[in-house]
Amino acid sequence: MRLRPFMDPLPIPKVLKPKERGKNSTYYEVRMVEFFHQFHSQLSPTKVWGYEGQVPGPTIEVEQGETTNVLWINNLPDKHFLPIDRSLHSSGHNMPEVRTVVHLHGAEVEPESDGYPDAWYTNNFQKCGPRFTRKVYTYPNTQRPTALWYHDHALGITRLNVYAGLAGMYIIRSEEERALNLPSGIYEIPLVIQDKTFNEDGSLFYPSTFEVPNPPPDFPNPSITPGFAGDTIIVNGKAWPYLEVEQRKYRFRILNGSNERFYKMRLSSGQQFIQIGSDGGLLERPVRLDEITIAPAERMDVVIDFSNQEPGTSITLTNSARTPFDFGAEPDPSTDGRIMQFRVIPRTSEDTSTVPQFLSRIKRYHECDVKRTRDITIDVGQDEYARPLFMLNNHEFMDGVAEDPVVGELECWRIINTGLGVHPIHLHQIQFQILDRIPIDTAAYTQTGQIRYTGEPESPLPNERGWKDLVQAPPGYITRILVKFGPYTGRYVYHCHILEHEDHDMMRPLDVVKPKCKPEKKLCEE
């Protein structure tokens, strides 16, 4: 069935109320439950999993410096409703089918509250993964104000749990940011963009098979695929919704919560986006862009000014990104080529909000302060069933830790992509800065391991010059980022955020370690 676009109004996820509010802390309880959700008024209700019975989950709003404690409760059934691939690591038959663990993406938190993939647990904490340590997670919210998002991160089934609906937004605010007088209240709107495919009966479709030439007799069924993109674009839980906007400025907190799909967004009115923030908070200055490319898990803080539009005008937010990005199929203008629609109506009051020319100071890292450089190669191999296998530094998740940055020391990570597609690489614990991207001779690199530059370093795009927790690593380039882990030590992960890649071993553990004791120092803690 063809769903009619722009039929349903855009829902705004509810803001979650804390169960308890202390002097400088809040306590929340969030339940993961199975329920039915209507993605479009022409579609029968769809079985989903969501936080607090909502898809996307309720927005959690906190004040900078307030400590948030959250009990994330798994009240899900014992059986998954999406196809589980038992051949993946930690998804074997000895593992409970339904396991969850919540990660607050982009948050600076201690490892015990970061949602390590092996810290999963089942319904009512009956069974726990090897790295499970605590039920209540603590978020200090000491970082810069920004939009984060919480989502499931259980080892081997993250793609299924997130696709089932386990994702929501989390916004940190501050007085300083409020003083900027950006559009706020009902004029500040989160946009969680995802994609789904529906079966005739309204149920969610997720592929269960994958074909390789000459498969071995024990080829897994169900099998993971190298990526999945749905044909229906969902914003805040509705397919191709519309939003009535007054003739004035709006602030949109955009999140790409899709498994694999990138979006190259434009406004059909030809207007520009005014981007004011990236993953880790406000940029130094607003940047005007005709087009924004947003990778899975990236956030973009964007102002759109509708004040010069006539009432009655309809503006489509379009998408021109190929899938897989950026070498696959062109989007279809009637389905994945469009995201949502804005309908301009007259202003109900004067627009007194502003977009200041200076937003926030960003202290730049300098290459000359780098203590250590690490190369992270993106490798394409084959697993034991001849399926494509993406890896980082030719390692699988279960191979031991190879990255052990010292807390507080600046490092340069060089992500070397010799493959075909763009991989969105995400680091836990910190926000980093993008240094540049340098084109290389990939054939020479794969044959000899020698890096031969084929062009000048390319500076990050204007909207990438703020704090980031994810970087788009394009093929044929070395993408260089400057990272400084801290203030916490311990075990985290970094990974590709295409969820089918992440689940199929494009994820690695990482240990943030204390500085080694220098022999000349008398006092030593260890």
Binding site for Cu ion (CB under 5 A): 105, 423, 428, 496, 498, 501
User: Among residues 441, 478, 437, 490, which one has the least CA distance to residue 460?
Assistant: 437
Q: Tokens for 392?
A: 């980082």
Residue 98: contacted member of ligand C2O, Cu ion, none (CB under 5 to 8 Å, by partner type)? none
Q: Which is nearer to Cu ion, 117 or 202 (CB)?
A: 117
Q: Tokens for 225?
A: 């695929």
Distance in angstroms (rounded) separating the CA atoms of residues 493 and 425: 11
Distance in angstroms (rounded) separating the CA atoms of residues 524 and 520: 10
Read off φ and ψ for residue 194, nearest 5 degrees: -140, 175
The least distance separating Cu ion from the CB of residue 492, rounded to whole angstroms, comes to 9
The least distance separating Cu ion from the CB of residue 94, rounded to whole angstroms, comes to 27
User: Pattern 259-298, binding to ligand C2O, x per CB under 6 A?
Assistant: --------------------------------------x-
Residue 416: contacted member of ligand C2O, Cu ion, none (CB under 5 to 8 Å, by partner type)? none
Cβ–Cβ under 8 Å, residues 97 and 84: yes
Q: Is the dihedral of CA 195, 199, 202, 205 positive or negative?
A: negative
Q: Which is nearer to Cu ion, 52 or 505 (CB)?
A: 505
Q: Which is nearer to ligand C2O, 196 or 428 (CB)?
A: 428
The least distance separating Cu ion from the CB of residue 251, rounded to whole angstroms, comes to 23
Residue 445 per-residue DSSP state:
H
The label of the residue with tokens 């984060």 reads 148
Cβ–Cβ under 8 Å, residues 437 and 479: yes
Q: Which residue is nearest to ligand C2O (CB)?
A: 105
Q: Tokens for 243?
A: 């939003």
Q: Name the burial class of residue 310, with classes exposed (0-12), middle (13-18) and buried (19+) by CB atoms within 10 angstroms of its CB.
A: exposed
Residue 423: contacted member of Cu ion, ligand C2O, none (CB under 5 to 8 Å, by partner type)? Cu ion
User: Pattern 132-151, binding to ligand C2O, x per CB under 6 A?
Assistant: -------------------x
The least distance separating Cu ion from the CB of residue 390, rounded to whole angstroms, comes to 5
Distance in angstroms (rounded) separating the CA atoms of residues 262 and 252: 18
DSSP, collapsed to helix, strand or coil, labels residue 274 as strand
Q: Which is nearer to ligand C2O, 149 or 210 (CB)?
A: 149
Q: Which is nearer to ligand C2O, 99 or 103 (CB)?
A: 103
Q: Which is nearer to ligand C2O, 245 or 493 (CB)?
A: 493
Q: Which residue is nearest to Cu ion (CB)?
A: 496
Residue 153: contacted member of Cu ion, ligand C2O, none (CB under 5 to 8 Å, by partner type)? ligand C2O
First CA to last CA distance, the chain:
65
The least distance separating ligand C2O from the CB of residue 150, rounded to whole angstroms, comes to 9
- Within positions 466 to 495, which residues make up the interface with ligand C2O, using CB under 6 A? 493, 495
- Which residue(s) pair with 480 in the sheet? 414, 436
**Residue from 103, 238, 299, 465 binding ligand C2O (CB under 6 A):** 103
The least distance separating ligand C2O from the CB of residue 189, rounded to whole angstroms, comes to 22
Residue 172: contacted member of Cu ion, ligand C2O, none (CB under 5 to 8 Å, by partner type)? none
C-alpha distances out from residue 340 to 1, 26, 162, 249, Å? 19, 35, 21, 18
- Within positions 153 to 212, which residues make up the interface with ligand C2O, using CB under 6 A? 153
The least distance separating Cu ion from the CB of residue 57, rounded to whole angstroms, comes to 16
Q: Which is nearer to ligand C2O, 101 or 235 (CB)?
A: 101
User: Pattern 292-331, binding to ligand C2O, x per CB under 6 A?
Assistant: -----x----------------------------------
Cβ–Cβ under 8 Å, residues 19 and 28: yes
Q: Tokens for 301?
A: 């803080």
User: Among residues 171, 154, 152, which one has the least CA distance to residue 163?
Assistant: 152
The least distance separating Cu ion from the CB of residue 103, rounded to whole angstroms, comes to 5
C-alpha distances out from residue 451 to 377, 418, 425, 441, 471, Å? 12, 11, 21, 7, 21
Distance in angstroms (rounded) separating the CA atoms of residues 283 and 451: 32
Q: Tokens for 37?
A: 């959700």
Q: Exposed e or buried b for every residue in 82-102, given b needs 16+ CB within 10 A?
A: bebbebbebbeeebbebbbbb
Size of the site for ligand C2O (CB under 6 A): 10
Q: Which is nearer to ligand C2O, 154 or 233 (CB)?
A: 154
Residue 186 per-residue DSSP state:
G
Q: Which is nearer to ligand C2O, 153 or 196 (CB)?
A: 153
- Within positions 409 to 428, which residues make up the interface with ligand C2O, using CB under 6 A? 426, 428
The least distance separating ligand C2O from the CB of residue 495, rounded to whole angstroms, comes to 6
The label of the residue with tokens 């063809």 reads 2
The least distance separating Cu ion from the CB of residue 132, rounded to whole angstroms, comes to 18
Q: Tokens for 236?
A: 């805040």
Residue 495: contacted member of ligand C2O, Cu ion, none (CB under 5 to 8 Å, by partner type)? ligand C2O
The least distance separating Cu ion from the CB of residue 437, rounded to whole angstroms, comes to 16
Give residues in contact with ligand C2O (CB under 6 A).
103, 105, 151, 153, 297, 426, 428, 493, 495, 497
